[in-house]
């Protein structure tokens, strides 16, 4: 199995590995529907759907995001473990393209392991309060909403799983008249690389937010992959996603 050389002796890590090996049975907190860029309106068939599950036990919170294709097959899985709001372990499994990664945070060191094309890679990264993992984007926005509203800009270091490094990214408040924003949104935010050269090559993620700073819609790149036909190669999925939340 991936990262077989890692020996995890601590009980807490053993517990989370058990959780990772099984499906969570916590409460569903969010559902999402993903459409291709050219898709218009609710009548279009979704390319993917999302269900986010939350489990809280003995002060340990686990978020599990399950992504399904149009055939309702599980195609990707993300799991994030937090203790007192701080991430301690993250796992991503890209089932379609047979890639997976595991990330462990101890102190201020993030240990990163990724498997792609049957080849294992590893690296370490210095962690600070501005570093985030992909599933932390919604919670980071909510926690820092006053700073963003006052300054119009928030800078973070986003961990990019398959690159085993972090990239400087900025949250920027933008005009709600942007074509990608929901008309009903209270705020509209662009999430894009902080460096101009990278920003020129990478499309921004446009986030439509409600009054409570929850993400109502996201437009742009994602961690998912799609294949248009059997003859095509897998390519990163880019499109629109809308989200609904269950009552707290």
What is the token pair recorded at 199?
A: 């920003």
Whole-model pTM above 0.75? Answer: yes
In 3D space, the residue among 77, 218, 214, 91 whose CA is nearest the CA of residue 141 turns out to be: 214
Distance CA 208, CA 8 (A): 40
- Domain membership of residue 188 (yes or no) is yes
Q: Is residue 119 part of a domain?
A: yes
Helices (H), the chain: 11-21, 137-143, 145-151, 196-201
What's the CA gap between 5 and 1, in Å, rounded?
Answer: 9
Query: For residue 90, what are the domain limits?
Result: 11-245
Residue 153 lies in a domain: yes
Inside any domain, residue 82 = yes
96 or 199, higher pLDDT: 96
- In a domain? residue 3: no
Q: How does pLDDT run across 62-81, given as a tens digit for each residue? A: 999 999 999 999 999 999 99
Whether 132 is in a domain gets the answer yes
Q: Is residue 168 part of a domain?
A: yes
d(CA 225, CA 68): 11
| 12-67: pLDDT as tens digits | 333 333 333 344 456 888 999 999 875 454 456 899 999 999 998 888 999 999 99
Residue 236 lies in a domain: yes
- pLDDT-derived band at 8 (thresholds 50, 70, 90) equals very low
Which carries the bigger pLDDT value, residue 7 or residue 32? 32
Output the pLDDT for position 3.
41
State how many domains the chain has: 1
Residue 88: predicted pLDDT: 97
């Amino acid at each position: 199995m991936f990262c077989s050389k890692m020996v995890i002796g601590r009980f807490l890590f053993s517990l989370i590995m058990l959780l990772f090996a099984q499906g969570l049975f916590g409460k569903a907190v969010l559902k999402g529907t993903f459409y291709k860029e050219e898709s218009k309106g609710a009548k279009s068939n979704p390319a993917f759907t999302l269900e986010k599950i939350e489990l809280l036990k003995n002060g340990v919170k686990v978020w599990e995001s399950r992504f399904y294709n149009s055939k309702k097959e599980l195609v990707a899985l993300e799991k994030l473990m937090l203790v007192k709001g701080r991430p301690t372990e993250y796992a991503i499994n890209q089932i379609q393209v047979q890639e997976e990664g595991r990330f462990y945070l101890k102190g201020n060191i993030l240990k990163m392991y990724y498997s792609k094309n049957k080849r294992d890679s590893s690296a370490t990264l210095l962690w600070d309060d501005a570093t985030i993992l992909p599933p932390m984007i919604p919670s980071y926005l909510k926690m820092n909403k006053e700073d963003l509203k006052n300054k119009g800009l928030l800078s973070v270091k986003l961990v990019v799983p398959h690159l085993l490094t972090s990239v400087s990214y900025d949250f920027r408040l933008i005009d709600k008249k942007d074509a990608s924003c929901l008309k009903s949104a209270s705020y509209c935010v662009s999430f894009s690389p902080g460096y101009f050269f990278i920003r020129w090559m990478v499309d921004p993620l446009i986030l439509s937010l409600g009054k409570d700073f929850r993400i109502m819609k996201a437009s742009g790149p994602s961690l998912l992959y799609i294949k248009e036909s059997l003859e095509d190669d897998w390519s990163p999925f880019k499109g629109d996603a809308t989200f609904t939340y269950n009552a707290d």
